[in-house]
Copies of this chain bind each other. A is one copy, B any other.
């Protein structure tokens, strides 16, 4: 189980070994099902996920879509709300019991004024979130639900086994029945490959 300091030393700046972070952090345990950031709320925190799974939901007219899932050893936040100080149009939910480490906006902004390391962490993590977004946007434009399901199955088999079908369907932007159909077709094509047909 990794803390922010351990993560920064491992992935961002090995030279901080032993030195303290340029901002305060606090730890928290969050119960399964807890809404961490609500729709419309202005995000005041950045979280580091030590253990558990996080869901980012987006309300689209009457339906709730799932924008993203986060897994341990990554930062998460309603980040657009956090950096632009506008109401969050996403909602963050703990899908399982989660352990997190938190950084307050004020502490981070203070550190950004004078700390090279704080700006380096902020830059690198924003780059990672950016790459994630670009990938998701391109996937929505260029891939079918089946292709995206197969990719998720490969990259996050643990997620697929932990989550109910309707959550995965909402993440893929399709009806649960369509996902069941895709799953059946894939199972069928597996059988055909195995039997050489």
Contact = CB atoms under 8 A, between A and B. Distances in A.
Contacts of A123: 112, 119, 122-123, 126
Interface residues of A, number: 33
A91 to B, nearest CB: 13
A61 B142 contact: yes
Given A116-B116, A129-B130, A130-B133, A141 B142 contact: no
Interface stretch (A2-10, A42-50, A79-87): A79-87
B120 A80 contact: no
A169 to B, nearest CB: 15
15 contacts: A58-B138, A60-B141, A65-B141, A80-B130, A80-B134, A83-B131, A119-B119, A119-B120, A119-B123, A122-B123, A126-B126, A129-B130, A133-B133, A133-B137, A141-B173
Interface of A: 58, 60-61, 65, 67, 79-80, 83-84, 89, 112, 114-116, 119-120, 122-123, 126-127, 129-131, 133-138, 140-142, 173
